[in-house]
């Protein structure tokens, strides 16, 4: 699902607190995604968490992880 070394625009949060940032993938061991933001900070995302909304390569149309699972976003 994720390729190490590739950049992804990751949306996290719930409702109006949702935001996106571009990260480079360092490692992926489902459901954990380890990334860095280019400023020396590393992050670990739980892709199974309800607050993990979507991940797509910059310039591509976002695809919700819920859409991939067959669950509609309301």
Q: Whose CA is closest to 6, among 33, 45, 46?
A: 33
The pTM of the full predicted model, rounded to 2 decimals, is 0.76
**Secondary structure element (H or E) that encloses residue 28, with its range:** strand 19-29
11-20: pLDDT as tens digits: 999 888 899 9
Q: Which pLDDT value is given to residue 72?
A: 38
Distance of CA 16 to the CA centre of its chain: 17
Higher pLDDT, 67 or 22: 22
Q: Whose CA is closest to 46, among 28, 63, 61, 64?
A: 28
- Per the prediction, the chain carries an average pLDDT of 84
Q: What is the residue extent of each domain of the chain?
A: 7-68
Q: Whose CA is closest to 8, among 19, 18, 23, 20?
A: 23
């Amino acid at each position: 699902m994720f390729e190490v070394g590739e950049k992804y625009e990751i949306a996290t949060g719930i409702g109006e607190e949702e935001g996106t940032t571009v990260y480079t993938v360092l490692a992926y061991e489902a459901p954990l995604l380890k990334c860095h933001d280019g400023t020396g900070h590393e992050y670990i995302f739980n892709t199974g968490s309800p607050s993990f909304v979507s991940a797509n390569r910059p310039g591509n149309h976002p695809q919700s992880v819920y859409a991939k699972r067959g669950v509609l976003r309301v």
